[in-house]
Amino acid sequence: MNVITQEDFIRTVEGALQYISYYHPLDFVHAMHRAWKLEQSPAARDAIAQILINSRMCAEGKRPICQDTGIVTVFLDIGMDVRWDAEKSVEDMVNEGVHRAYLNPDNPLRASIVEDPAGARRNTGDNTPAVIHSRLVAGNKVSITLAAKGGGSENKSRFAILNPSDSVADWVVDQVPGMGAGWCPPGILGIGIGGTSEKAMLLAKQSLMAPIDIHELQQRGPSNTVEELRLEILDRVNKLGIGAQGLGGMTTVLDVKILDYPTHAASKPVAIVPNCAATRHIHLELDGSGPAFATPPSLDEWPQIPWDPTTSSRRVNLDELDATAIRDWKPGETLLLSGHLLTGRDAAHKRIVETLAKGESLPDGLDFHNRFIYYVGPVDPVDGEAVGPAGPTTATRMDKFTDTLLEKTGLIGMIGKAERGPAAIESIKKHRAVYLIATGGAAYLVSKAIRKAHVVAWPELGMEAVYEFQVEDMPVTVAVDTTGVSVHQTGPAEWKQRIAGIEIVTE
């Protein structure tokens, strides 16, 4: 009978969360590299390059791959012959590990979890509690499979109960365009089929814990219905032309994972849970011999990706812009931003709009006239950093605030990730503003362009406070121009047509 001590278990969870914050699984790195080599869309290829460069930088610097360091999800298989030497419950031990990992002074991780979700939505301050799924199984070990799931991809999950005769592939392919680019493709689609409604969702999430192996499956061919379905969905989704960051391209998904379970004869529950370009998960096992730690990978496993944005990008001084200066920017054009910009996410936007509705003045320093706002909630800095990893958050969540800010503050531009909705695009067009995107999944790379940062309003909001950043050569892409043309519409449409005429070659 193996004895698992409380401290060994907590240290295992803590170490695993730190590890996955800065090490991508190598199967993901290799799959992204294959996608980069095959990609023919310049915009998508550039985005994949940034993601791979960011991945290596994080592995070297031991800093988070993404500023959204995720909601912790844990799958525990607890052997029935295990004996615990612990005072805390298993759930409390997991949460103590999360607490320690996210408050680690050498690599603090962003606290994103809020309690009272239907009310005050107060940040818990340490990213607890985790979402925990436990099973009692045969054996004398404790198996821990742990993931940190970003909100951008989690928000794009889908569920339906199909008729038994309906096609799962048809439903999945129909859902993906509506998921937009907020889940930061290219990534992995996790699909659960069968069971009940909650079982299908759990299966979809669990499927994402497996290594990427679609390349091997393509080479050997399918041996059962699930493998046939994986290949069909992969092919059909990639032919949609959505591409990296939704810019249009050849790879939207790197793999399709499927788990199924027996279900009622009258039902076919199906769930989709996407994993983003900040795929983070790990599997460890405790056998009573001490805490379990993953072995760091060699940096030689990361490809050397050539990337020089200065050769093809327009340099822009943010401090000298006005409404006329942005009118010749074109969708898909790459820019390098220098100067000052303000930040703001959901909570800050809500406060800004409420303040304006009351006829009150915004806090000192919150002057948006002829300025840009960056949708970001950064990680805390360490070791002289101006700011920690600071990649963009999904812009569509700010759509309902956009017209008010453009009309009442003098704002001329926004920076985020993914597409804008029809109402926001119409407002951008009406006010002759622009929307730019930074690459989701390249948060550490983006942060290197931020030279100074300080909070200018509502520090009590934590990572959702309003900052002013001073940036130098921050890489972005024009997503919506002043006439309302969106690259997230034109890019995928163009590449869907192109892919139809391209013979796809897999290595």
Please, what is the angle between helix 90-102 and helix 6-22, to 10°?
40
pLDDT for 503 equals 61
Predicted local distance difference test score (pLDDT) of residue 236: 98
Q: What is the pLDDT of residues 340-391, one digit of tens each?
A: 999 999 999 999 999 999 999 999 989 999 999 999 999 999 999 999 999 9
Domains for the chain: give ranges and CATH numbers: 3-287 (no CATH), 314-492 (3.20.130.10)
pLDDT in the model for residue 417: 96
Q: What is the pLDDT of residue 132?
A: 98
The pLDDT assigned to 284 comes to 98
The residues facing 486 across adjacent strands are: 480
Query: pTM for this structure?
Result: 0.94
Q: What are the residue ranges in the chain where pLDDT is below 50?
A: none
Cα Rg of the chain, angstroms: 23
Q: State residue 495's pLDDT score.
A: 96
Q: State the DSSP string of 371-433.
A: -EEE---PPPP-TT-SSS--PPPBGGGGHHHHHHHHHHS---EEEEBS---HHHHHHHHHHT-
Q: Check residue 502 and report its DSSP letter.
A: S
pLDDT, tens only, 35-82: 999 999 999 999 999 999 999 999 999 999 999 999 999 999 999 999
- Among residues 242, 185, 335, the alpha carbon closest in space to that of 41 is found at 242
pLDDT of residue 312: 84
The pLDDT value given to residue 505: 53
Owner of token pair 């962003």: 110
